[in-house]
Structure 1
Amino acid sequence: MLQNYKYASVNCLNQQAIADTPSFLFLWVGDGVGLEQGRQCLKKWGFRRCEDVCWVKTNKKNASSGLRHDSRTLLQHSKEHCLMGIKGTVRRSTDGHVIHANIDTDIIIAEEPTDGSTKKPDDMYRIIEHFALGKRRLELFGEDHNIRPGWLTLGKDLSYSNFNKEAYNRSFADNDGKVWLGGGGRNPPPGAPHLIVTTPEIEGLRPKSPPPKN
């Protein structure tokens, strides 16, 4: 997930160097012109936009209105968008060990920070963690409040880190110590060490795709 979206700096990142196939990217783009710039970034990095999560800001705790008056817009904006991009192809019928589909919605209704912080709703993490079953989770442009178990957070404003190299590498290794290095363009098989293992109980709760029409 990319925080603090700035087109000039984000556009020059070489995502291809670290993104396996398949992989997913979640990019906060604000609203307005950021939507188009975000789509351009996804395309440049080899991702195609597949979803758009919208954060509707409630501002219940903020005495002053969070609506932004911008001379470039026709309406007052009270929302932000997070574009979801996919690299490769993942099918619900065959790749249920890679993704969980239809668990969350594409709308987050949450309070906007009152102190001018760029902090995003924690619900976004839960959506990502519910959907993508890969353990390799990287957040760029993170701050201290973004540090989260199971994620590698990078950012120039971090004052500390929860990163442990040995523990990080062990989480991607199988019982023989073999680490998943990438699928070479192929989707990982069930039981690949870099995927979160599900249980029969979880599978019983998984929303199923509708049966094909005759």
Structure 2
Amino acid sequence: MQATAPPFVPSSTTRPSDLSTTKEIIMTTSFPSASNANHTVTSSTVHGVYDLKLVRDLEGLLNVETAQTRLRRIAGRAQNPKPFNPICSYTTLSACKQHRQNCEKVHYEPIIRPWTDPSLGYCSYLNLCYGDPMFASNPSLGDGPGPRGGKECRYLHFQVVPTTSSHPIHPPDQPPLPKIIRERLLPNIEVKGVSEAQWIHCDIRSFDYSLLGQFQVIVADPPWDIHMSLPYGTMTDDEMRRLPLPSLQPDWGILALWVTGRAMELGRELISLWGYKRVDELVWVKTNQLQRLIRTGRTGHWLNHTCEHLLLAVKLPPDHPPNFPIPWQTSPALRALRRGVDTDVVVAEVRETSRKPDEVYGVLERLAPHGRKLELFGRKHNIRPGWLTLGNQLGESQIAEPDLHARLRQRYPQQPFHLIHSDVDMK
């Protein structure tokens, strides 16, 4: 008779490696159906035969949210979340009335112009169509360069139906987190800075980055050369490689890099070249005016792209091998991060070309609430309180840090830098 090992039961002396092995066993074991719940589960691993109830109990323990994770998630919630106005699945008010008497959701109505042909159906570009007169007055376009209307579009476009009553869905009230728990989970780190928005109009390819100092968070949306016709200039791969991003961040600083198309592979290459390690990836799922997935012919060589990717990386210390584990629990800089608060998916409506969703700023600010923050390749709509934005479409520069203003004036005496006064520290 072949001997079998006794069932593995965690005890007070169980080592973390044993629990890791147990989780691996659970993940690779094929469980019987509920009708065979009294049977045992046999695994080919060295531990032998396992009791089904024991395995289920262990699975529940390993998958449950810990108290620390739950408290950290609660502490990271927005103080004043915005209400949500859901859009009716029938889209138009007339279609909705054919199926229900009352509906408190948002509806659209078609815009019928002299040249509109309803038989053609919906315009695939909707409110971002160059051929619709409303495109030129779109408030999300800003003052940057770009098309302002074109050939008259004969397809259907839509606008929101005016309503006298609003019934938004408000987030449920949450009990306040005790101050002592908040301070223990999310310790305040004294970092001097300003809360006002700052920006520098410059050529990012030749700017002297040594003037800026260091930043806890850097987000960049480079004009990648993705071999497509774009309404703005692009940077070559070598120009991207020469950017001195590592000099702008301390060890374990956070880099967020937008990538698309062929830049998805190039972005990963640059992260490694600059001395960073990719730790996560956020996906922006794009929706249109009617809150449906975009289906246009402007993106993608093979398939129409409905999402973009934001690579998240940390800057490694010079003596930290890339393949070594990241010391999340022992490094003070890493412990100050609010990990596990947000998900890795943002669903948001598209706006003008290359503009990214504002929700991403909230994700980064919750992840790293302390320290200075820098955005590269920004435009006027990217200007945000607490951030320094660099780009070549920003107009006259505005600075709130006196020491930074002095260095810029000395290095670029011919360029105007408007200094604003700030008495608020970023804590």
- TM-score, normalised relative to structure 2: 0.36
1:152 alignment partner in structure 2: 388
Q: Which of 255, 258, 263 is the aligned partner of 1:28?
A: 258
Instruction: Read off the aligned partner of 1:91 and give its amino acid letter.
Output: W
In 2, the alpha carbon distance for the partners of 1:137 and 1:10 equals: 20
Deviates more, 1:6-15 or 1:152-161: 6-15
Instruction: Read off the aligned partner of 1:80 and give its amino acid letter.
Output: E
Cα deviations by residue, 1:81-119 (Å, 9 ceiling, x for unpaired)? 010111134514664652001111100000001xx3321
In 2, the alpha carbon distance for the partners of 1:98 and 1:28 equals: 24
In 1, the alpha carbon distance for the partners of 2:254 and 2:262 equals: 22
In 2, the alpha carbon distance for the partners of 1:42 and 1:86 equals: 9
Q: Which of 355, 364, 375 is the aligned partner of 1:119?
A: 355
Listed as ranges, the matches of 1:70-109 within 5 Å are 72-73=301-302, 75-88=303-316, 89=326, 91-92=328-329, 95=332, 98-109=336-347
Q: Is 1:40 aligned to 2:277, yes or no?
A: no
Cα deviations by residue, 1:165-214 (Å, 9 ceiling, x for unpaired)? 23879xxxxxxxxxxxxxxxxxxxxxxxxx975xxxxxxxxxxxxxxxxx
Instruction: Read off the aligned partner of 1:59 and give its amino acid letter.
Output: N
Runs of at least 5 residues in structure 2 that lack an aligned partner in the other structure: 1-218, 226-235, 317-325, 406-424
Instruction: Read off the aligned partner of 1:111 and give its amino acid letter.
Output: E
CA, structure 1 residues 16+166, in 2 after alignment: closer, same or farther (shift >3 Å)?
A: same
In 1, the alpha carbon distance for the partners of 2:331 and 2:274 equals: 26
- TM-score, normalised relative to structure 1: 0.68
CA, structure 1 residues 119+92, in 2 after alignment: closer, same or farther (shift >3 Å)?
A: farther
In 1, the alpha carbon distance for the partners of 2:298 and 2:354 equals: 18
CA, structure 1 residues 160+145, in 2 after alignment: closer, same or farther (shift >3 Å)?
A: farther
CA shift at 1:67, angstroms? 3.1
Runs of at least 5 residues in structure 1 that lack an aligned partner in the other structure: 170-194, 198-214
Asked if the contact 1:54–1:108 (Cα under 8 Å) also holds between the matched residues in 2, the reply is yes
The structure, 1 or 2, with the larger RCO (C-alpha pairs under 8 Å, 6+ apart) is 1
1:18 alignment partner in structure 2: 248
Deviates more, 1:94-103 or 1:149-158: 94-103
In 2, the alpha carbon distance for the partners of 1:71 and 1:119 equals: 17
Asked if the contact 2:277–2:315 (Cα under 8 Å) also holds between the matched residues in 1, the reply is yes
In 2, the alpha carbon distance for the partners of 1:134 and 1:77 equals: 34
2:281 alignment partner in structure 1: 52
Structure exhibiting the larger radius of gyration computed from Cα positions:
2
Listed as ranges, the matches of 1:128-207 within 5 Å are 128-166=364-402, 197=427
Query: How many residues align structurally?
Result: 168
CA shift at 1:22, angstroms? 1.7
**SS of the residue aligned with 2:259?**
strand
Percent identity between the aligned chains?
32
In 2, the alpha carbon distance for the partners of 1:17 and 1:139 equals: 15
Instruction: Read off the aligned partner of 1:20 and give its amino acid letter.
Output: P
